[in-house]
Chain A
Amino acid sequence: DQQVKQNSPSLSVQEGRISILNCDYTNSMFDYFLWYKKYPAEGPTFLISISSIKDKNEDGRFTVFLNKSAKHLSLHIVPSQPGDSAVYFCAAMNSNTGNQFYFGTGTSLTVIP
């Protein structure tokens, strides 16, 4: 049972434009969410996080939005750069029941120069 879903396996965006990556979850008890970025042959690298008490968190070109009622979060990258090309995973946790993250299946982003 996939509790975290990324329904778009791939996304292509022109350099300089906005990239929007989406993630949906089913467990309403999740209260902490992260986005990881992964290059080939490397482990996932932490990008940005958000806790359920907020609906937006921004760090430079990266902004994460959380819609708890819709059980949906999104990652916005603006402006997109070729170096952003990677696989992006969203992950969610219920901090009250443990420390394991549940990951989505990833979205492969290609930023076209």
Chain B
Amino acid sequence: GAGVSQTPSNKVTEKGKYVELRCDPISGHTALYWYRQSLGQGPEFLIYFQGTGAADDSGLPNDRFFAVRPEGSVSTLKIQRTERGDSAVYLCASSLGLAGGLETQYFGPGTRLLVL
């Protein structure tokens, strides 16, 4: 089966605009994660879904960031009133979601967001 896919691969927007980033996890994976990677840094955790619910959103930087996963598969990360500091690569990962499991997270190629 296919790996994690993310669309768009690149997004250029203007400061103040709204953007949506999409993630299609590996089929059958119930856990889904969003990370943000700034230049020269490692990925930083944003939010984790188990099924349809956000089990941990402690990494979201502020209330301009929101993510949904209404049917427990595809997820959308939404950023309102974008700022230049939001420019980064947004990575999505998925895993099986087994209870108590020490699981490997499989990453998509990322969406490169540039806010002008």
Contacts and interface: CB of A to CB of B under 8 A. Distances in A.
A49 B95 CA distance: 14
Given A32-B102, A95-B102, A100-B48, A43 B107 contact: yes
Contacts of B66: none
Nearest to B4: A43
B91 A89 contact: no
Give 7 closest A-B pairs by Cβ, nearest first: A103-B42, A43-B107, A100-B45, A32-B102, A43-B109, A44-B107, A103-B43
Interface in B88-116: 91, 93, 95, 100, 102-110
Nearest to A36: B107
Interface in B40-89: 40-45, 48, 50, 55-56, 58-59
Contacts of A104: 42
Contacts, number: 63
6 contacts: A4-B42, A95-B100, A95-B102, A101-B105, A102-B45, A103-B44
B107 A45 contact: yes
Contact of B56 (A31, A98, A105): A98
Given A98-B56, A100-B48, A105 B41 contact: yes
A99 B31 contact: yes
A42 interface: yes
Contacts of B45: 100-102
A46 B104 contact: yes
B91 to A, nearest CB: 6
B104 to A, nearest CB: 5
A49 to B, nearest CB: 6
Contacts of B93: 43
B109 A41 contact: yes
Given A42-B109, A44-B107, A103-B44, 19 more contacts: A34-B104, A43-B6, A43-B107, A43-B109, A44-B91, A46-B106, A49-B102, A51-B102, A95-B102, A98-B55, A98-B56, A99-B31, A99-B48, A99-B56, A100-B59, A102-B45, A103-B35, A103-B43, A105-B42
